[in-house]
Amino acid sequence: MKALNPFANPGRCKLALVSQGVSLPDGLQNASHWVAQANATESVVDIRLPSGHFATVPVAQPYSEKSSIQLRQQDADGSARLQWGDEQLDVQVLPAPRFYRNKTRSGARMGSFASLHENLLMLHPLMGCGFFAKQGRACQYCQYDSMLNEEEPPLRDPLELVEVVRAALNEREVDTVYLYNGFAPGDDVGLSRLVPVIALLRRHLGHRQIALETVAPKDTSVIDALYAAGLDIFVCNLEVHDADRFAEVCHGKQQAGGQAAIWKALDHARQVFRSGAVVSHLIVGLDEVESTKKGIDALIAHGVVPLLQPFRPLPGTPLENLAGPTLEMMEELFLHLYGAISDAGFPTHRLRHMGRVLTPMESRVLDGREAMLSERWVSSSLGRHLDGWMDGLRRHLRAGNGDGDEMLLDRRPMHVLLAGEALPFAALMVIALAAFTAVSMQAPQGLSQNGWSSLIVFTLCLVLWVTQLLPLAVTSLLGLALLPMLGVLPASEVFSLFGNPAVFFILGAFMLAAGAMQSGLSERMALLTIDRFGTSPQRLLLTMLLLPAVMACFMPEHAVAALFLPIAWEIVRSLGLKAGNGYAQSIFFALAWGAIIGGVVTLLGGARGPLALALTEELTGQTFSFADWTMAAAPIAVFMLIISALILVRITPMDGIHIGSARERISLRRLELGDFNLKAKAMSVLLVVTMLAWIFAGHSSSLAGIALLSVVAMFTLRLVSWRAVEKHVNWGVVLMYGGAIAIGKALTVSGAGLWLAHAVFPESIAGLALLALLALITLMFTEAVSNAAAVAIVLPVAIPVAAAAQIDPITVALAVGIVSGFAFMLPMGTPPNAMIFGTGFVRASHMMRYGALLSVSAFTLFMITVSLWWPLLKGFGE
């Protein structure tokens, strides 16, 4: 059979060169000027064919010296001639990059870090492969062990890698940076170490691609982290399709999960990366031709782009005496590859500058096809820039900024993600246009121009609070900025409202809660109580309800939920419960419901109470005390806890729950913490004294003063550090307070609040009917926005309505403030709901069903309490 002419077309020529190499009968003059290291073991030269194709060609190897293609007559400018029998082809040998001779910051030669082939920079972040640490585990065709043979190869200095990349960029335009990750122990095969490296490289590479070739990780979540960090192309090599042949030549990979692990990694990556960006090599010559074709078809069926790599018998490997593939075999397989990819409609432009293989885009030249317009476009400079920008946009939509230890990618369709990103901007533009139009209009009859402006600001903030197109605190800042700009209130008066005592009261409460957590008091109390009373499944469940309720009387409900969430996790984990288990769901329901209900009892449970206090004082000059709030709210909270307990017992399956393991984990944690130390004891005394002071000297001007004095005492006793306090103080709430109080003040001063009240509420509604209506409106708002936002929305309008109906404003403030705390139905209503929903153990339908039952119960209890209990309290219910 006549041998194929390797010079018949550019594709065949490149195939012959990269698979067989070239012999050097005349040697290679000034070899160091021309030879580039494709890896640490194989000498290569880069050759440009007359067609423009680029090939990285092995030289000075035993197998390449047997090649039928010779490289001759090299001139000083790189002009050379390839000879095959009587056939000749003029080519250009490219000099090795100059930056190879540069030194990194540690003095290492940059050529030992990387090799640059046309626009492809091959980078070695690890100094070896762990498979070479043990005899017989390395792949039999691989000679990567010329570096360090350690089971966990050391990672090069990331900043030195950046130095190498920047040096390469200074010398030549780089399109793709291709990283290798050898094997390292662990389920992530060492990939977690590369996440920050890729993130660092991404900051320097702009639109350029980053590719990574790796052993298959068992923990596929690391693939998500790599993508979020900035990886564009994921390469995990199947090597050979036949399973028996794979096990024979890839001992280490077989022991690390075999082909099953590779398919799992490829399938996972395909869900993460763009089409055409998940790649797998098949080595031609290690498997039968038909088996390799099946491998090509299988990879394409999985959405993976196959790349064919010719087997080269490297010296020193177990397969050094195995003959490489023939040109006929290579051409047959590449034609099959191109046909299969064309039929599948795969984009194949990702690895467009691979000199060591014939890419799928280049394979078309084997049968004489010309590049289509779309192929030329994606390979153009503008196309590459646009493609890189699209990759960045896609990554932003799927992974945000890529930070965080646990990366959860959004896998919804791209059009849904784009709509989700674009719609908020469009909505904000529409809202801004509507507000601008309203400002230019004349005020309605009966309303001053200042009143109209304040109403516009209130409506704008109302819409933004409900839609949450902006963070709540940012919306409040917008209100603060607009009020003086529109002439409603002087700037000095608007910003002075940040000095409201309620702002400093809630600030002090946050700081005291931080002290309780930092000193270990709160966790010790929680674990002690659970260990003492959680002796059966039912008692443990009820303890997880009642204990957060009690603690939420003394610290914000979100802090209580954050404290108990890991405890609930430990209980569920130790019991071996999975998502969908009824007992596990009830444990999380219990901690959320307890925190929510307990947070209503005192002004310390959340921001809603202090905000209601501040708004009432600013709008009416009247106020209520710490004890007033607690006396009004306590009966509702007590009966809500009873109803919650009955619901939990009714809906929770107790059979088969053995709590011994959970109690053992809790006991171990108590042993780790030890007994109550001096800081915890001192913190408990300080909190008790503070509570007593609030109860017996609880008028509004004293609440903030007492809180701040307690904070000073806490720091004086060195019970907490300022850094710990900063972690727990919700500064956004402080900002929201200032805006909400200012907007409420503007509505009152301008008369817009009273005008709006008459416009919205019928004059015939009064007494209990009006309180019931206000409670229902507040309940609806508090499910959609935060508790404090519900108060900020409802109370500025409710107080003028109450005044017109001759209802005590304190009664209205307590009604709106207390009812706003009962958000049970939706995750966004309150932080405890959001926290438990995020665990995956709580079903949304169950949260809505049982939450609706609790909301109805809260409304019913509120009406009973207002009718029967509040009239008995001094000044209430009038």
pLDDT in tens, 286-320: 999 999 999 999 999 999 999 999 998 888 788 88
Please report the pLDDT score of residue 861 as a whole number.
95
- What band does 731 get if pLDDT is binned at 50, 70 and 90? confident
Residue 807 and residue 729 in one domain: yes
- Residues 770 and 685 placed together within one structural domain of the fold: yes
Please determine, for residue 187, whether its predicted confidence score (pLDDT) is greater than 60. Answer: yes
Cβ neighbours of 432 (radius 10 Å):
11
Q: Is residue 150 part of a domain?
A: yes
From the list 343, 339, 360, the residue with the least C-alpha distance to 351 is 360
Give dist(CA 477, CA 737) in Å, integer.
10
Strand ranges in 7-128 using DSSP code E only, listed in sequence order: 36-37, 43-48, 54-58, 70-72, 79-84, 87-94, 114-117, 120-123
SS3 (DSSP) at 521 = helix
SS3 per residue for 674-709: CCCCHHHHHHHHHHHHHHHHHHHCCCHHHHHHHHHH
For 580: left if phi > 0, alpha if psi spans -120 to 50, otherwise beta; the answer is left
In this predicted structure, the answer to whether residue 259 has a pLDDT above a threshold of 90 is: yes
Is 731 found in the same domain as 616? yes
More confidently predicted of 638 and 371: 638
pLDDT higher than threshold 90 for residue 398:
no
Whether residues 192 and 60 fall in one domain: no
Residue 717 has pLDDT above 50, yes or no: yes
Residue 633 lies in a domain: yes
- Asked whether residue 143 is domain-assigned, the answer is yes
Count of domains forming the chain: 3
Residue 402 has pLDDT above 50, yes or no: no
* pLDDT number for residue 242: 93
Distances from the Cα of 467 to the Cα of 475, 781, 786, 824, angstroms: 11, 11, 11, 19
Q: What percent of the chain stands above pLDDT 90?
A: 28
Confidence band for 875, pLDDT divided at 50, 70 and 90: low
Choose the final residue of a domain: 327, 361, 396: 396
**pLDDT, tens digit (0-9, with 9 covering 90-100), for 615-653:** 888 888 888 888 889 999 999 999 999 999 999 999 988
Confidence bin at 584 (pLDDT 50/70/90): confident
The answer to whether position 479 is within a domain reads no
Residue 859: CB atoms within 10 A of its CB come to 17
In this prediction, residue 561 carries a pLDDT of 81
Mean pLDDT of the region 331-346: 86
- Bridge-based pairing of strands 114-117 and 87-94 is unpaired
* DSSP state for residue 416 in the 8-state scheme: H
Q: Are residues 75 and 126 in the same domain?
A: no
- 113 and 74 in a common domain: no
**Same domain for 44 and 172?**
no
Q: At what angle do helices 582-598 and 557-574 cross, to 10 degrees?
A: 160
Q: What angle do CA 609, 610, 614 make, to 5 degrees?
A: 120
On the question of pLDDT at 364 being above 90, the answer is: no
Among 187-196, 335-344, 608-617, 735-744, top mean pLDDT goes to 187-196
pLDDT digits (tens, 9 = 90+) for 757-813: 777 777 667 788 889 988 998 888 888 667 877 888 888 888 888 887 788 889 999
User: For 147, which DSSP code?
Assistant: S
Task: Examine the domain organization and report whether 89 and 132 are in the same domain.
Answer: no
d(CA 175, CA 181): 20
pLDDT of res. 145: 44
Of 368-382, 681-695, 832-846, the range with the lowest mean pLDDT is 368-382
Q: Is residue 755 part of a domain?
A: no
Q: Note the Cα 718 to chain centre separation in Å.
A: 36
pLDDT score of 851: 92
Q: Is residue 457 part of a domain?
A: no
The CATH number that applies at residue 245 is 3.20.20.70
396, 413, 438 - which closes a domain? 396
Domain range spanning residue 694?
A: 498-738+762-872
Average pLDDT over the chain, rounded to whole?
84
Whole-number CA gyration radius for the chain:
36
pLDDT of residue 144: 53
Q: What's the rounded mean pLDDT across residues 165-187? A: 90
| pLDDT confidence of residue 368 | 61
Mean pLDDT value of segment 539-557: 87
Q: Are residues 82 and 148 in the same domain?
A: no
Dist CA 779 CA 854 (whole Å): 11
**What pLDDT does residue 146 have?**
45
Average pLDDT of span 491-519 = 79
- 177 and 316 both lie in a single domain: yes
Q: Are residues 669 and 727 in the same domain?
A: yes
Boundary residue ending a domain (358, 380, 396): 396
Which pLDDT value is given to residue 514?
A: 79
517 vs 61, residue with greater confidence = 61
| Lowest mean pLDDT segment, chosen from 246-260, 488-502, 578-592 | 488-502
In this predicted structure, the answer to whether residue 347 has a pLDDT above a threshold of 80 is no
- Both structure tokens of 50: 């007359």
Within a domain: residue 754?
no
- Is residue 435 situated within a structural domain? no
pLDDT band at 434 (very low <50, low <70, confident <90, very high): very high
* 174 neighbors 119 (Cβ within 8 angstroms): yes
- Secondary structure element (H or E) that encloses residue 19, with its range: helix 10-20
For range 448-469, the mean pLDDT:
86
* 612 torsion bin: left (phi>0), alpha (psi -120 to 50), beta (else): alpha
**In angstroms, rounded to a whole number, what is the distance separating the alpha carbons of residues 743 and 791?**
12
CB 681 within 8 A of CB 524: no
H or E element at residue 275 = none
Q: How many residues does the chain have?
A: 878
Helices (H), 345-380: 360-363, 373-379
Q: Which residue type occupies 296? A: I
Residues 79 and 186 in one domain: no
* 281 has pLDDT over 90: yes
Average pLDDT over residues 441-447: 86
pLDDT band at residue 403 using 50, 70 and 90 as cut-offs = very low
Q: In this structure, how many other beta carbons lie within 10 angstroms of the beta carbon of residue 426?
A: 10
Whole-number Cα distances in Å, 216 to 591, 665, 866: 40, 35, 65
Structure tokens of 643? 């109803």
